[in-house]
Structure 1
Amino acid sequence: MNLNLKAQLNNTFDAIVVGSGISGGWAAKELTQKGLRVLMLERGRDLQHITGYDTALKAPWEFAHRDRTILPKDNPAPDFRVLGYNEQNGHFVFDNRNAPYKEIHPFLWYRPDTLGGKSIMWGRQSYRFSEMDFEANARDGYGTDWPIRYKDLAPWYSYVEPFAGISGNKEGLAQLPDGEFLPPMDLNCVEEHVRGKLKTKMNRVMTIGRTANLSKANPIHTSVGRAPCQYRNQCARGCPYGGYFSSLSATLPAARKTDRLTVRTDSIVSEVLFDEKKGKATGVRVIDSKTNQTTEYYARIIFLNASAMATNFILLNSVSGRFPNGFGNDSGTLGKYIMDHHFQVGANAQADGLGFDDKYYYGRRANGIYIPRYRNIGTDKRTYLRGFGYQGGASRSGWQRLIAEASSVEGNFGAALKERATQPGPWTMGIMGFGECLPYEDNTITLNHNRPDKWGLPTIIFDVKFRENEERMRQDMMNDAAEMLEASGLKNITTYDNHSIPGLAVHETGGVRMGRDPITSMLNAHNQLWAAKNVFVTDGASFASVACQNPSLTFMALTARAANFAVSELKRQNL
């Protein structure tokens, strides 16, 4: 008995954080800095900042397959597909063969398998949600009303932005609130031209992307070892310079400085433990991914930040007499209202005859342009609800353009080929839309107990699809893109719709949504489970709607806000 008590004491912390990605890293930072002893549990392998990014400094010719997308020889099966496999960062990605999932409709689940999660490979675009976004569900009746408004989260956006390091330009738009920005990266000459034309001809704004790349390293960044962005545009490989925000470069170093953080990798959280007498969660059950050994860890508060779909899985798999349908699922909404952005639709064009043939740009800017939402705002009314924004940019093709031509163009060899290779190709510009998906009750994930994973746990069944509203929106996303490029004087415009499936944008959200009452939602205004107040969910699972902006900055703000509330409630002995 004494041995058991000692073991439990060794496995007891003030707080447990499940997941080490963007929101998990922020939870660890905030809770440790406020005095709590925190255990962070990560199902993936350990990854050391700086030394762990094996491909970060490799030249193209050092990759055996020149970084072509490949599949392992022993498994060409389609269920391995996770944005393909590539030599730059494929070693960061989870092997789906170990936990295959079922798709009622096509769904792509992008799962990292390292400490730091998606913060190692994310796109870094960082935009605030607006008042319009937080009001959307209440306004048009889809989903449940967010229990917060922009004014509730604005101070927390302002809190996380300086530490994360968001570079950008202030535009004064209600639908895309300004933030605490580092100096903006520069638009190139063609982008500046298009920005001016869109403003004067169409009264639309095009701005430089708001990205979590340090255009300038302030003391708050250098104090944890970060340096400015080197304009290498190799972010997906991991950045040894700390030029972009990740858990490994920013929040975890800050948390470790407190000496209150314990990190355990290769730790699969299978369920949340619940004490029915106390009406509280007591801890989590963990499976060691290498040994299959099961261990229980205990804490006064638990933050679930495993990523939206994984957090849904943990709660769905946490069943008891009190929660037969999943932990905290009194509302019956757990695993429902799954969302993602739909994209891969837009237009491309050439910037011929605009006087930029003698212009080029310096470096490889790890960023593009952003055109904020303008549809269904004010007097603009469409045949669909919500809206979309655009990302993209202008560039000049280099010598690579000659590869395909070398064998097909007469005289394109020898000295002639070398001479052509010294000249840059034409300027081109492309813009691609990112549209909002409505929260649909029957966009769901459920558990498949008939197909266990490598560790004996159930796997996930995705039943998620885009609907008529999204398809109508895509027509505008494509046609408007062409219209804007044409208005800017660009030529040879081509449109495209390469179709989009949920999960592909890697902005999946929902399933454990916030709301105003426990009858229709899982979480209250402080990201607490209504049914277990010492459990907090602050990753994408908590979203009541997804807006059309990239969601990661909102993960950060919600997490910092919830952590502050949780610690204050602990001090009041309310948890």
Structure 2
Amino acid sequence: MQGKKNNTYDAIVIGTGISGGIAAMELCRKGLKTLVLERGRNIKHGDYPTAMLESWELPHQGKIPEDVKKKDYEYLSRKDYIMEQGGIHHFVKDSDHPYTEKKRFDWIRAYQTGGRSLVWGRQCYQLSDLDFEANAKEGIAIDWPIRHKDLKPWYDYVTRFVGVSGRAEGLAHFPDGPFQPPMPLNCVEDHFRKGVHAKLPHIRVSEGRAAHLTAYDPAVNLGTRGNCQYRNRCRRGCPYGGYYSSNSGPIPVAIETGNMTLVNGAAVREIIYDADKKRATGVRVKLTETGQETEFFTDGVVFLCASALNSAAILLASKSDAQPNGLGNDNDQVGRNVMDHHHSVGAGGTMEGFEDKYFKGRKPNGIYIPRFVNLGDQATKRNYLRGFGYQGGASRSNWRRLVRELSVGPGSELKQAMLEPGEWSVGIGGFGESLPNPDNRVTLNYDKLDADGLPTLIMDVAFGENEAAMRKDMKAYAVEMLEAAGVKNIKPYDRKVFPGYSIHEMGTARMGRDPKTSVLNAHNQVWNCPNLYVTDGAAMTSASNVNPSLTYMALTARAVDHAVKALNRQEL
């Protein structure tokens, strides 16, 4: 009993990424002794070995040798730009953590303190009631149990803490927040915005809303933070804390409370369920370093924040006599309705007339174009459901273009060419919503185990006809906007894309109003295990078309507030 007592906590958080970091901080700040379990190694803020290196100082010039790709990164190498430029150490080896594809799925994973918050795209947007109400109005899947008003205070709360730079646009379907000043558009981006607004007034071009501090406030942006330095080396880790990560923000705050215990190398096998009490009483883990299995216990709450697919895997693996299909899976909904955004469609071209202009710094952000189709009126109605937004930007090529240009002569011609920037290019790419589909699912594979001896996942997920129909407009509207802005040499594209590629996997343990059709209630509690909260992408009932991380953080902060109040009322 003494061992169990020493291993018992007020709260347990599984995962340290976008959701887990917020859960740890909020629980610790509210006074709960909190155990935080992270499957990967410990990385402290600032422990980013390639962050200060110039591109020419990186091993293999930032490239990953082909033999290494083939041996260790079978899936990750499908997205080369994520692997390269000095950030590969932040991603797992596929050889250690394999999975099986019934249909192609490009799963990008990062197991370490901070998870994928060290390498995320940092775009932060709110879902609107256009998103929360869509399923119910269209008869798709099930209704969200919440609306924007339920989440708005928490959106604002995490937006202030994270430090989101952006411009208020006053659009109901693109909710504003308490933003820091936006990162200014460069001259060509601003020209593009003006051209689109003049000729296509129903389309709004704005700055991206990004988790980069432009007006650091030490009283609000807690942790180890500072203003963005415009280095655009974010995927290597930011030692300045200019961009938000769990490592620079909530984890240091949680540590300062004295209430957090962090255990790394803790691969969660299952959540321990007490059928009589109908509550989670702990977790069973395998310690990666020693191979030892151990148990941790709680008299309070468990927050499952391992990412949508891993959280589903843990729930499915948490089998008992009372829960033979997995914890929370009486209705066979865990692992189903996997969603991701679809992109790699849009257009680009060149802009003339700005040869005397350049820009300073490396702005890690560009333009954002909010959704403008299917807004609920006849004028915007299309022959598919939901919609899309665009992300993009403009830049001017530099001396590195000469590496591949053979037409430049030697001597003085080469020197002169190196002094002159190249042409301006501008491009926009769409991000489209995918619909929830119960046939899009993941299941456990006990015949293929990972390096920690845990069952792996079988992926059976694909985009559907609605997404295919949407992509035609995503390409066509991109061309129309570029033409409106006077862009030349426009080249549209629509590359084959597969789920997982956007790194926005969602929906495996969705929120709902009915325990027969959902896994979680309106407060992110598992229906038949109310002291277990799931607040990562698994909770999403629909996908919207915007980047989802801000929603995960808002759901998490709201759920912690609910959990602590329920504990104080002795309801859990």
Q: TM-score band, normalised by the shorter chain?
A: over 0.9
What whole-Å deviation, never above 9, does each CA across 1:350-374 have from its counterpart, x for those lacking one?
111xx32111111100111100000
- CA displacement, residues 256-294 of structure 1 (integer Å, 9 cap, x when unaligned): 111000000000011000111111110100101121100
1:367 to 365, 368, 375: 365
Residues 434-491 of structure 1: CA deviation (Å, up to 9, x unaligned): 0000000100000111112222221100000001110110000111101100011111
State the AA in 1 paired with 2:40: G
Q: Greater shift after overlay, 78-87 or 153-162?
A: 78-87
- 1:159 is matched with 157
User: Matches of 1:200 and 1:74 in 2, distance apart?
Assistant: 47
Equivalences for 1:245-264 in 2 at 5 Å?
Answer: 245-264=244-263
CA–CA distance in structure 2, aligned partners of residues 540 and 220 of structure 1: 29
Does the CA contact (< 8 Å) of 1:115 and 1:265 recur in 2?
A: yes
Q: Which residue of 1 aligns with 2:388?
A: 388
CA distance in 1, matches of 2:152, 2:42: 34
Contact 1:80 1:97 in 2 (8 A): no
Deviates more, 1:530-539 or 1:212-221: 212-221
- 1:384-426 CA distances to partner (integer Å, 9 max, x unpaired)? 1000000000111111111111xx31x5222201101101111
The residue that corresponds to 1:102 in the other structure is: 100
CA distance in 1, matches of 2:43, 2:262: 11
Taking the aligned partners of 2:567 and 2:103, their CA distance within structure 1 comes to 43
- Aligned counterparts of 1:395 and 1:113: Cα–Cα separation in 2: 33
The residue number in structure 2 matching 1:31 is 27
Report whether the alignment pairs 1:323 with 2:323: yes
Counterpart Cα distance in 2 of 1:260 and 1:450? 39
2:434 corresponds to which residue?
A: 437
CA distance 1:303–1:235, shift in 2 (3 Å):
same
Q: What is the one-letter code of the residue matched to 1:142?
A: I
Q: Separation in 2 of the partners of 1:351 and 1:538? A: 44
- Show the 5 A alignment for 1:392-407: 392-405=392-405
Aligned twin of 1:570: 567
Pair 97,455 (structure 1): closer, same or farther in 2 beyond 3 Å: same
In structure 1, distance between residues paired with 2:317 and 2:67: 31
CA separation of 1:532 and 1:188: change in aligned 2, threshold 3 A: same
Q: SS where residue 339 of structure 1 aligns?
A: coil
Moved more, 548-557 or 272-281: 272-281
How far residue 16 of structure 1 moved from its aligned partner, in angstroms, is 0.2
Is the 2:163–2:221 contact (alpha carbons within 8 Å) kept by the matching residues of 1?
A: no
CA distance in 2, matches of 1:169, 1:266: 41
What per-residue deviation string (whole Å, max 9, x for no partner) do you get for residues 47-76 of structure 1? Answer: 0111x1000000112112111243454844
SS in structure 1 of the partner of residue 161 of structure 2 = helix
Q: Does 1:53 align with 2:48?
A: yes
SS in 2 for 1:451: strand
Of stretches 94-103 and 204-213 in structure 1, the one that deviates more from structure 2 is 94-103
How many equivalent residue pairs?
565
What is the alpha-carbon distance in structure 2 between the residues aligned to residue 547 and residue 422 of structure 1? 45
Question: Whole-Å Cα distance in 2 between the matches of residues 416 and 555 of structure 1?
Answer: 54
Which segments of 5 or more consecutive residues in structure 1 lack a partner in the other structure?
none
Map 1:89-488 onto structure 2 (within 5 A). Answer: 89-203=87-201, 204-220=203-219, 223-299=222-298, 300-352=300-352, 355-377=353-375, 378-379=377-378, 380-405=380-405, 408-409=406-407, 411-488=408-485
SS in 2 for 1:482: helix
The CA distance in 2 between the partners of 1:288 and 1:71, in whole Å, is 32
Whether the 8 Å contact between 1:94 and 1:113 is mirrored in structure 2 is yes
- What are the Cα deviations for residues 485-542 of structure 1, in whole angstroms up to 9, with x where unaligned? 0011111100011121100100000110000010100000000000100000000000
- The whole-number CA distance in structure 1 between the counterparts of 2:568 and 2:246 is 27
Which amino acid counterpart does residue 421 of structure 1 have in structure 2?
Answer: M
Query: SS at 1:309's partner residue?
Result: helix
Cα 1:557–1:488, aligned 2, differ >3 Å: closer, same or farther? same
Q: Which amino acid aligns with 2:55?
A: P
Contact preservation (8 Å) 1:390, 1:433: yes
Which amino acid letter does the alignment assign opposite residue 556 of structure 1? M
Is 1:41 aligned with 2:40? no
Quote the residue 1:491 is aligned against: 488
Distance in 2, Cα, partners of 1:125 & 1:147: 25
Find 1:70's aligned residue among 55, 60, 65. 65
The two structures, once aligned, show a CA RMSD in angstroms of 1.3
1:221–1:227 CA contact under 8 A, matched in 2: no
Residue from 13, 17, 22 that aligns with 2:9? 13
Native 8 Å contact 2:241 2:248 kept in 1: yes
Task: From the superposition, tell whether residues 223 and 330 of structure 1 become closer, same or farther in structure 2 (CA, over 3 Å).
Answer: closer
> Which of 527, 530, 542 is the equivalent residue of 1:530?
527
Matched residue SS, 1:57: coil
Deviation track 1:551-571 (CA, whole Å, cap 9, x = no partner) reads 000011000000000000000
- Counterpart of 1:55 in 2: which secondary structure? coil
Taking the aligned partners of 2:462 and 2:227, their CA distance within structure 1 comes to 40
Shift, 1:118, TM fit: 0.4
Task: Measure how far apart 1:219 and its partner are.
Answer: 1.9
Structure 2 portions without partners, runs of 5+: none
SS of the equivalent of 2:389 reads strand
Q: CA contact under 8 A between 1:351 and 1:489: conserved in structure 2? A: yes
Secondary structure at the residue paired with 2:59?
Answer: coil
- Partners in 2 of 1:331 and 1:368 — Cα distance? 43
CA distance in structure 2 between the partners assigned to 1:561 and 1:151 by the alignment: 12
3-state SS of paired residue (2:415) = helix
Counterpart of 1:122, as a letter, is W
TM-score (normalised: structure 2): 0.97
* Partner SS for 1:39: strand
CA distance in 2, matches of 1:74, 1:94: 12
Given that 2:316 and 2:334 are in contact with CA atoms closer than 8 Å, whether structure 1 keeps it comes out as yes
What amino acid is aligned across from residue 260 of structure 2 in structure 1? Answer: L
Question: Aligned AA for 2:330?
Answer: D
Quote the Cα distance in structure 1 between the aligned partners of 2:97 and 2:420: 49
Q: 1:563 to 1:54 in 2, by over 3 A?
A: same
Matches of 1:72 and 1:287, distance apart in 2:
31
